[in-house]
Structure 1
Amino acid sequence: MKENGNRVKYQIASGRVVLLVDWLKNKMSPPQLILIVFFCLIWIGALLLTLPQSSSTGQSIGLLDALFTATSAICVNGLVVVDTGSVFSTFGQVVIMIMIQVGGLGFMTFGVMVALILGKRIGLKQRLIIQQTTHSTSSQGLVRLSLYMVLIAFAFEAFAALILTIRWQAEMGWGQAAYYALFHSVSAFNNAGFALWSDSLSSSVGDPVVNLTIILLFISGGLGYLVVVDIFRKRSWRKLSLHSKVVLLTSAILTAAGFLVLFLLESWNPATFGQLGAGERALAAFFQGTTPRSAGFNTIDIGSMLAASQFFIIILMFIGAASGGTGGGIKTNTFVVLILATVNTFRGGGQIHAFKRKITEETVMRALAVVMSSLAAVLVIALLLTISEGMLEDHFLEVLFEATSAFSTTGLSMGLTSELSSAGKVIVTFSMYVGRLGPLTLAFALAQKKRSSKIGYAEDHILIG
């Protein structure tokens, strides 16, 4: 009788879980489901990291630090309040690596893989969620795109891991070198910025193999899967989509600008480039010029850089990577759309276009919404951190840097992260969550159903400028 009673209770509990899942699927929009699933994944990761097995000392690191780390990993940020290499055990580091991979690729991509393996059908609801997480403009071919995403990620990571293993095996031995290579390859391709060294990659500042491999990974991940797939399919600049052309050209310009500005500025700084040779300076400038695009690694101390360089990095972090990629920020294509709209206004109006293709007014308005909401978020975060950390005015750049890095999911820091108070950790944790999901996703998730206005208002004018 007791076994039958337990069986009935189990069936009732299972039925309630199924009903809850079905209710969530039917009642919630794809953006709302994304918010909830990311929230649940973060807490699952946090609970795993609080286990004594996740700590190198055998003692729990505490819920708040575990939650901060899990959010940073799932949101592929890279900000850390405890040193990943020394505080976490191998088990804890593997948990972090898995969270980075899931957060970078998107939980629905893995869901598609599991569903296909089990022979399940991908429904319309699932396709809409995939479209939302990949920023795809069409709902067609999304399952194939998900498969491409997994293959591209694993191919890049495996190739880079092989190169780094060969490079590090003389120093560490094959086993440890392979583990370090895999961890940093996953972290780099997903633009996470987690490193197993306390100084990130500063010890490799003059190593071209390590630098160029890591740069290749985070640039490829930051371009976005849509762009990478488009390149492999078309293999011709003329045949590429407008999105791919804009992303590639903008990324090249920002990379060149980052290299030149930091090389010229930091060459005068004895605390950074002044200690390096000519070749190492060029390599360091190239790395630091590209890493603010949401990568999170660094080969020189960011806190020792000139204030002008630090402010320039803030600008690059705010712009970020491309839509549909593993990076954050307002996105390069959003930045370009606003630049084109501004230039077009100065020229007297007319169609906004690029590469002989018209850009719709709706696209411009969405870009404006993203930039304004992101700017407001960064300013609010900076204000809250200034209050919670009791920062004086001569440390404001440090606070603004931290706020921008958290929201843009970049992971760079001038040193404030490790000194955050409990309130500061909560603020930055929430900032990483909001920044990863994006202002528009949050707005769509929290908004009511669209209502068409039945009232037409008379047109009037507001003075501008």
Structure 2
Amino acid sequence: MKKKLRIWMNRRSKMQIIALGFLCLILFGTFLLMMPFSARSGEVTDFGDALFTATSATCVTGLVRVDTWAHWTVFGQIVILLLIQTGGLGFMTVSVLFSIVLKRKIGLRERGLLSESVNALQVGGIVHLMKKILMGTVLVEGAGAALLSLRFCRELGFLRGIYYGIFHSVSAFCNAGFDLMGYQGEYSSLVNYSGDWLVNLTITALIFIGGIGFIVWDDVSRHGIHFKKYRVHSKIVLTTSTVLLFGGAFLFYIFESKNLALGLSGGETFLTCLFDSVTTRTAGFNTTDIAQLSDSSKLLSIILMFIGGSPGSTAGGIKTTTFLVLLLYVRANIKRTRGVNIFRRRIDDDAIKRASGVACTNMLLALTAALIICGNQALDLRDVLLETVSAISTVGMSTGITRELTAISQFAVILLMYSGRVGSLSMALSFTERKKISPYELPEEKILIG
């Protein structure tokens, strides 16, 4: 039996194995969440709600059908936390941890899977990178948990405060957006901490660090603050992420100055706008009522969610590198220059093709799901678009319609979250990866574009 399983696995492509691994993790999580002792009511949780929650946690999204604190017991919450951590780092990364602990040799195929799992630029040195990722994760999440515990221990007591600090630190670092603030009001997220500097800045830092990607971590650990020594990838990620963070915060301030920010102090306005900017980049927490945002802010949220974080990170979206490469490609076409150049380097053509494929695939999936939901339910189009982009980009922001979705709409959102975490284009390519390439090309003919 083991031999047959090994042969079957060897015939699967790397992407197929990763997609299958996430699917198995989701189903296992669903099984545990359906157990009576996972719910506060002591009853079996509906399969649809359990599957939705397990998918959202594993795919580090944050969309929920039931309030995490009000519905789940501590056991259920810990299951969700473990799904977030495993889904955020990638199950292959977690498997390396066990291999290191058991001192088991990691084969070449496993190294290839690891490289694919974290979007590493090369297979060489992947195990060393994995050790850095695991160590960095422990340090960053530990620091975040300690800082958050300072606030929560004062409010909730020592043990519960530490538990809340750990849960929200892991959730923020993995860009998951799950929270345990339901005791202050169901689905309230971090609204009651909108003016709290410690909570806001800690969560913001965790989201940002988790969303820049493991390759950037490696560059920073090797070269410190010497920006010129970084890879072009790291330079693009850090530059684009910083511009989007502060540019988004400024636009939120412009759009909400006469709406949600009206009457807030200068410090609370700054924190709110900064938090809105960083959380839309795939985190899912919120310190403001998303449903009350102005239409311009909702559109800005959709744009930032669609872009998302960076490759090889816990974040989703089309990624910052994809966004910038497409902008540079448009500029190159307008200026009629050869190739796409940045930081005195030329971007290879395959990266441009892949960027186009990722952006188009994500957009088509989000719009198709929006059509399905709108055709199935009478919901506001703006809220539906925000929901579907939030799902495909594994963000977790919602105006509250998640709890109103029918079974068909739920399934559409589940597929979006799954595709968003595995990678929409990678998911599509996994079905054609082993197909033979035709040895000939068809005659070329020009068509009109634009």
TM-score in terms of structure 2 length: 0.97
In the alignment, which residue of structure 1 is the partner of 2:131? 147
8 A contact 2:13–2:433 mirrored in 1: no
Post-superposition CA distance 1:319-343 (Å, at most 9, x none):
0000001000000001111111110
Distance, in Å, in 2 between the alignment partners of 1:118 and 1:413 is 42
Distance, in Å, in 2 between the alignment partners of 1:158 and 1:215 is 15
Identity score, percent: 39
Q: Secondary structure at the match of 2:280?
A: helix
In the alignment, which residue of structure 1 is the partner of 2:26? 42
CA drift of 1:202 comes to: 0.3
- AA matched with 1:410: V
Distance, in Å, in 2 between the alignment partners of 1:301 and 1:413 is 9
CA drift of 1:373 comes to: 0.9
Q: Secondary structure at the match of 1:21?
A: helix
- AA matched with 2:243: I
Q: Kindly indicate whether residue 209 of structure 2 is the aligned counterpart of residue 200 of structure 1.
A: no
In the alignment, which residue of structure 2 is the partner of 1:230? 219
- AA matched with 1:93: Q
Distance, in Å, in 2 between the alignment partners of 1:457 and 1:422 is 45
Q: Kindly indicate whether residue 200 of structure 2 is the aligned counterpart of residue 211 of structure 1.
A: yes
Equivalent of 2:273 in 266, 269, 285: 285
Q: How does 1:446-465 map to 2 (within 5 A)?
A: 446-465=431-450
Equivalent of 2:164 in 175, 180, 201: 180
Equivalent of 2:209 in 203, 215, 220: 220
Query: CA 1:448–1:103 in structure 2 vs 1: closer, same or farther (change >3 Å)?
Result: closer
Distance, in Å, in 1 between the alignment partners of 2:141 and 2:219 is 19
Distance, in Å, in 1 between the alignment partners of 2:145 and 2:441 is 60
Q: How does 1:41-440 map to 2 (within 5 A)?
A: 41-197=25-181, 198-235=187-224, 236-269=226-259, 272-391=260-379, 395-440=380-425
RMSD of the TM alignment (CA)?
Answer: 1.1
Q: What 5-or-longer segments of structure 1 have no aligned partner?
A: 1-15
CA drift of 1:351 comes to: 2.4
8 A contact 1:109–1:147 mirrored in 2: no
Q: Secondary structure at the match of 1:387?
A: helix
Distance, in Å, in 2 between the alignment partners of 1:28 and 1:184 is 36
Query: CA 1:444–1:278 in structure 2 vs 1: closer, same or farther (change >3 Å)?
Result: same
- AA matched with 1:298: N
Q: Secondary structure at the match of 2:329?
A: helix
Further displaced range: 260-269 or 438-447: 438-447
Distance, in Å, in 2 between the alignment partners of 1:311 and 1:61 is 35
Q: Secondary structure at the match of 2:288?
A: coil
Post-superposition CA distance 1:207-251 (Å, at most 9, x none):
000000000001000001110121111111010000000000000
Distance, in Å, in 1 between the alignment partners of 2:54 and 2:439 is 46
8 A contact 2:13–2:434 mirrored in 1: no
Distance, in Å, in 2 between the alignment partners of 1:351 and 1:406 is 33
Distance, in Å, in 2 between the alignment partners of 1:438 and 1:343 is 26
Distance, in Å, in 2 between the alignment partners of 1:202 and 1:106 is 30
- AA matched with 2:332: N
TM-score in terms of structure 1 length: 0.94
CA drift of 1:448 comes to: 4.5
After TM superposition, where is structure 1 displaced by more than 6 Å over at least 4 residues in a row?
none
Distance, in Å, in 2 between the alignment partners of 1:461 and 1:430 is 37
Q: Secondary structure at the match of 1:446?
A: coil
Distance, in Å, in 1 between the alignment partners of 2:257 and 2:4 is 60
Distance, in Å, in 1 between the alignment partners of 2:128 and 2:435 is 31
Q: Secondary structure at the match of 1:293?
A: coil
Distance, in Å, in 2 between the alignment partners of 1:448 and 1:230 is 31
How many aligned residue pairs are there? 444
Distance, in Å, in 1 between the alignment partners of 2:22 and 2:340 is 36
CA drift of 1:275 comes to: 4.0
Distance, in Å, in 1 between the alignment partners of 2:173 and 2:4 is 36
Distance, in Å, in 1 between the alignment partners of 2:208 and 2:392 is 19
Distance, in Å, in 2 between the alignment partners of 1:181 and 1:455 is 59
Distance, in Å, in 2 between the alignment partners of 1:180 and 1:317 is 26
CA drift of 1:117 comes to: 1.8
In the alignment, which residue of structure 1 is the partner of 2:184? none
CA drift of 1:350 comes to: 0.7
- AA matched with 2:385: L
Distance, in Å, in 2 between the alignment partners of 1:444 and 1:458 is 25
Further displaced range: 166-175 or 235-244: 166-175
Post-superposition CA distance 1:131-153 (Å, at most 9, x none):
11100110111111111111111
Q: Secondary structure at the match of 2:373?
A: helix
Q: Secondary structure at the match of 1:273?
A: coil
Further displaced range: 142-151 or 90-99: 142-151
8 A contact 1:131–1:139 mirrored in 2: yes
Q: Secondary structure at the match of 2:430?
A: helix
Distance, in Å, in 2 between the alignment partners of 1:67 and 1:457 is 46
Distance, in Å, in 1 between the alignment partners of 2:396 and 2:248 is 17
Distance, in Å, in 2 between the alignment partners of 1:343 and 1:274 is 38
Further displaced range: 113-122 or 369-378: 113-122
- AA matched with 1:440: L
- AA matched with 1:218: I
CA drift of 1:19 comes to: 2.6
CA drift of 1:110 comes to: 1.1
Q: Secondary structure at the match of 1:353?
A: strand
Q: Secondary structure at the match of 1:358?
A: strand
CA drift of 1:102 comes to: 0.1
- AA matched with 2:212: L
Q: Secondary structure at the match of 2:239?
A: helix
